[in-house]
Structures are given as C-alpha cells and as structure tokens.
Amino acid sequence: MTDTTERISLDVLLLPAFAADDFEMEKDLPDEFERWLSTYEFENSASVPGANMPVYYTDDGIGITSTGMGKAAAAATVTAILAGERFDCSETYFITVGIAGSPPDVGTLGSVFVADHIVDWDIKHRWVARDGKTEEERNHPLELFSYRPHDYVYHLDDDLVAVALDAGQSVELRDAPGMREYRNQYSQDAARSDPSVAVGTTLCSDEFWHGETVSEQAQWLVDEYDVGTYATTEMEEMGTATALDRFGVLDRFLSVRGVVNFDRPYDGQSMRESLHEGAEAETFDAALENVVDVGSAIVDELRTDGASFDG
C-alpha cells in the first residue's frame, strides 16, 4: 500500500472500532477491520495526524480506518480526518461497521441493526440504590443530568436509514450451530429467533455494563428521550456522531452493528460466565461476516444511488 500526499475524495468511509493490532494481548480477539480487506481493494493509504491508524482506500473512493475503542478515541479519529487536509469528505457517507450487544427481548446473536437514534448512557445522575435516603431514591437511583445544555441523543437521517435497511434486508445472514445452541438457553422469543436485519436505537457507553437491573435503567433513559426501545449497546457511536455533527455532516452517518452478546445472563448463568463465555469465536465470525455483507450491500446502494439521494 502506498502513502500519498494528494488530497483524496471519498464516497464512503467505513469506521470499525478496532483492529487486532490495537491490542497488546496474546489472546486472539475479534478484528472488525481485517475482514474488510478481502471485500474491497484497499491499495492505498494515507496517514492522518491524530487518527488511530492510517486511512486505507480504494482507487474508486472507498475508505476504511479503525477509530479506536470508546467515545473519546472515536471522536478524536473522526475529528482528525474531517479537520485534516488529506481527505475531501464533502460528499462522504460515514458508516460505523462493528459488533454490539443486545437485550434478549429485542435482538439475537448474528442479527444486524441499523441505528435510527443514538443515546449517550454516560451523561446522567446515578447513585447506588442502597445509599438512597427515601424509598423513591432506593427504587430509582438515577435521573437525567440536570446541567445538560441539550439532550444527549442524536436522531439519524430517516431517509438514509431507510435506504440502508432496504439494502441490508436483501442479504442472507449467516447462522452457526454454536450461536443457536447458546441463544436457546434464553427464554425470550427474540433471543431464540433467527438472525435478521432491523432498525433500532443504539445505546453508547464507555462502561461495559451488564445485567437486567442496569438494562432496566438504560431503557428508562431511552424512554426519557422518547426514542423507543434500545436494540444495541456499543462504545463509539456518540463520539463519532458528535464529531460529525460539529462538522455539519451527521445527515450522512449510519451505524451498522452485528450482535455478538446479550446484555444479561440467561436464567441460572452467572454474570461473569455471561460476560466472558457468552460470545464465542464462532459468534464473532458469523456476526462480523453478517456486518460485512450488510455493510457492503449498503455501500453498493449508496454508491449507485448516492448522487441522487437527498439525505
């Protein structure tokens, strides 16, 4: 791959959160970045000061870079690209492509969700229930952040989301025996269903929380913002969306996430078992392949009709 100093125009910029090289661990980890390299011919690269890694791109305008994990890393990488001089993003579509968790009463392993709203879980008031001095404080240990200059939620472009959903639903999703066996441990109908492509709110947090109690609190926050039921949980979208919004291009952003874990244990399973054993390599492989297939179908649709699409 060659690094160039010329200004580069991109039709689409794919934004996985992480590549295996981001980690200094002996354990094999899922790689949101690597499997895209066999989908498009990323023959070129350009370094961007402040970004997590170089941006790799094809001769015909598809780019990819991993943002780094978490909201701060995602915001820094996207800001560096938009503020830098290497890339012309005046007509670029930005697509997060990665993995996520899901509540078992909404989604299942291997499903792919296109987000229509992004909610920030981290900015709020919360306390430990047992520290409450009143029954209401003990039963409901959180409230909206009282100093907020605005609600911490983004509504993504309805027309663009609809285009992505239509393209994604044309894809036949992969399933795997291990995924079916694991999700059948859950009693919820949604968890036991086959993978599908759907739309829903994504809940973004730097904290990898887990369990039904926190899930109930998370849904309360989503209800306060009146954006339905959250479908996925992840760690980057609010940072990416904030950067894009500051540069006036949020209307060209899509979040496409494949489900690799449930946000709580099944009956009889411990929290640590659910956290550390719930997502096996087979699940990561199938979900990431589904994200690549759905994501590339969306890219093809946007590049075919993008010139006439009015987002």
Q: What is the CATH number of the domain that holds 282?
A: 3.40.50.1580
Token couple for 174: 């992969």
186 neighbors 262 (Cβ within 8 angstroms): yes
Residue 32 lies in a domain: yes
- Is residue 165 assigned to a domain? yes
pLDDT at position 133? 93
> Could you tell me if 92 and 306 are in contact, meaning their C-beta atoms sit under 8 angstroms apart?
no
Q: pLDDT tens, position by position, for the chain (311 residues)?
A: 555 567 899 999 999 987 766 555 455 667 888 889 889 999 999 999 999 999 999 999 999 999 999 999 999 999 999 999 999 999 999 999 999 999 999 999 999 999 999 999 999 999 899 999 998 989 888 899 899 888 999 999 999 999 999 999 999 999 999 999 999 999 999 999 999 999 999 999 999 999 999 999 999 999 999 999 999 999 999 999 999 999 999 999 999 999 999 999 999 999 999 988 777 888 989 999 999 999 999 999 999 865 445 54
Inside any domain, residue 311: no
pTM of the model: 0.92
Q: Is there a domain that residue 310 lies in?
A: no
From CA 110, how far away is CA 248, in angstroms rounded?
33
153 vs 176: CA distance, rounded Å: 35
Which domain, by its residues, includes 72?
2-305
pLDDT of residue 21: 64
Residue whose structure tokens are 């075919």: 304
Q: Is 268 part of a structural domain of the chain?
A: yes
- Domain contains 93: yes
CB within 8 Å of 81: residues ≥ 6 apart: 13, 48, 51, 55, 65, 87, 89
Angle (deg, nearest 10), helices 158-168 and 281-305: 120
119 located within any domain: yes
Spell 250-266 as b/e; 16+ CB within 10 A means b: bebbbbbbbbbbbbbbb
Which two three-digit tokens encode residue 34? Answer: 């690597």
- The CA distance from 74 to 78, in Å, is 6
Q: What is the pLDDT of residue 275?
A: 87
The one-letter amino acid at 195? P
Cβ atoms of 93 and 244 within 8 Å: the answer is no
Q: How many domains does the chain have?
A: 1
Q: Which of 186, 193, 183, 210 is nearest to 268 (CA)?
A: 186
- Residue 216 to residues 107, 213, 223, 231: CA-CA distances in angstroms? 16, 5, 10, 13
pLDDT value of position 307: 46
**How far is the C-alpha of 24 from the C-alpha of 43, rounded, in Å?**
26
Tokens 């009956």 belong to 267
Q: Buried b / exposed e across 213-238, counting CB within 10 Å, b at 16+?
A: ebbebbbebbeebebeebbbbbbbbb
What integer pLDDT is reported at residue 25 of this predicted model?
A: 46
Nearest Cα to Cα of residue 296 among 55, 54, 95:
95
